[in-house]
Structure 1
Amino acid sequence: MSDFWVFGYGSLMWNPGFDHLRAEPALLRGGHRALCVYSWVHRGTEQRPGLVFGLDNGGACRGMAYQVHTDTWPQTLDYLRAREQTTMVYKEHWRNVVLESGDRVRALVYMVDHRHPQYAGALPLEKQLDIVIGAVGKSGANPEYVINTAAHLEEMGIADRGIAWLADQLKGLAIS
């Protein structure tokens, strides 16, 4: 068994992008999922920022934990750092997570850095919607990212009224 685990709470849940031995729903205490990071690369630009999820302090977060084989850990870590640390808006932490099976593991998590200029904080839902609409970065359109994350949360049975509302609004705009 590998001792290396990664906790995903946003796009890592539905698009991890790395090989793993096992994926299991998990709970992290001490951090919550929030659309609180201005995206200057993946879902927006510095001139027209989007918003992406960050793991902010307090509360709890249900997400997905991935077990990574010891032999592939160095490449996985390099990949994650290239993906998540493009502008250094996140800090790497090792935190305890509880797997759905009841096992407790230490997992690498990316917590948002409150001192970073991309930290948006707790924005009202209407402001989040205004920012997300029309933002596009190198990984695609910002609305697609929010809608995909909301769909994955729903598939996992994770209720988040704010994210569901945003996704519904964005889907409605795409239809009109």
Structure 2
Amino acid sequence: MPKPPRQMRLTERHVGYVQPEAPSEDMPPPPPGMRAAMPDDHQRTITDLLGPDRGDEVWIFAYGSLIWKPACDFVEMRTGLVRGWHRAFCLGWNNRFRGSDANPGLMLALDRGGACKGVLYRLPPGQIEQSMTSLLEREMGWLPSPFPPRWVNVNSGERTIRAITFCIDRNSGRYVSGLPIEAIADVLATAVGTRGSMAEYLFATVRHLEDIGIHDPHLWQLQALVADRIETAYEPDR
């Protein structure tokens, strides 16, 4: 018999406590030292990534929010494993989308070392440039990017698939490392911006990973710690 699904400690009830006062999908102004990316910037990135012999099979490797909110259409989805990179809350500090000046957020990116299980999406053959543009508009709204796109090898079944993903630039001023898991949980339990909370971001990522059969022990521990912190703040008598 199949095992019953794991029950997350972090639930929609917890997420409901931490909501933006004025939700918005509008693009805020870029932080100091960055600028808004323009269509020509995205076109150059696409040209550099795909080259002249791009073919009609382009894959994207998703490790975080792209799993539960893809930025573009796709024609095939499969799970895969990247070696040499791991999923980490190392992209900071976000004081716009899912954080504020008082409580900035930490986003997921791939960092060096270890391995990461995630989702592969194959772009529609006739819409590769359009799909890539939508992806870059979502992930690279500001330049220079602290997590630029790059190619990685992804093991999926009997195949090794070359895919595009987003990896942290450790030389970026937005690279955050060395935080203990308790400190990361403190951030994820409190940060909220115009597009939602870090608790919501964590909840959606863990839930969708579990739904497709990927168990990330680090994120699993984090979701329990974040649930504890939200309960302490909002349900002291529970």
TM-score after normalising by structure 2: 0.68
Q: What's the offset of the Cα at 1:4?
A: 0.5
Q: CA deviation at 1:143?
A: 0.7
Q: Separation in 2 of the partners of 1:56 and 1:16?
A: 21
1:47 shift after superposition: 5.2
In the alignment, is residue 73 of structure 1 matched against residue 128 of structure 2? Answer: yes
Q: 2:175 corresponds to which residue? A: 119
Distance 1:80 1:121 in 2: 26
Distance 2:116 2:217 in 1: 14
Please tell me whether the aligned partners of residues 2 and 67 of structure 1 are also in contact (alpha carbons under 8 angstroms).
no
Asked whether 1:48 is paired with 2:103, we answer yes
Question: For each residue in 1:145-171, what CA deviation from the matched residue of structure 2 results, as whole angstroms up to 9, or x when unmatched?
Answer: 011111222223333222112212223
Q: Deviations over 1:88-122 (max 9, x none)?
A: 111111111122x3222211010011111211113
The amino acid that maps onto 1:8 is A
1:57 pairs, out of 86, 109, 112, with: 112
Question: How far is 1:64 from its partner?
Answer: 0.0
CA distance in 2, matches of 1:110, 1:59: 16
- Greater strand percent: which structure? 1
AA partner of residue 48 (structure 1): N
Residue correspondences, number: 175
Confirm or deny that 1:7 pairs with 2:61.
Answer: yes
Larger radius of gyration: 2
1:134 and 2:160 equivalent?
A: no
> What's the TM-score, normalizing by structure 1?
0.89
Q: Which moved more, 1:112-121 or 1:82-91?
A: 82-91
- Supply the distance in 1 between the matched residues of 2:188 and 2:72 (Cα, whole angstroms): 27
Q: Percent identity?
A: 33
**Structure 1, unaligned runs of 5 or more:** none
Give 1:48 deviation, angstroms: 3.2
Code of the residue aligned with 2:176 in structure 1: it is A
User: Where does the alignment leave 5 or more consecutive residues of structure 2 unmatched?
Assistant: 1-54
- How does 1:24-173 map onto structure 2 within 5 Å? 24-38=78-92, 39-45=94-100, 48-87=103-142, 88-99=145-156, 101-173=157-229
Go from structure 1 to structure 2 and tell me whether the alpha carbon gap of 1:47 and 1:171 turns closer, same or farther (over 3 Å shift).
closer
Classify 1:72/1:147 alpha carbon distance in 2 versus 1 (closer, same or farther; 3 Å): same
- Matches of 2:220 and 2:97 in 1, distance apart? 21
Give 1:173 deviation, angstroms: 4.0
Q: CA RMSD in A?
A: 1.9
State whether residues 36 and 53 of structure 1, in contact with CA within 8 Å, keep that contact through their aligned partners in structure 2: yes
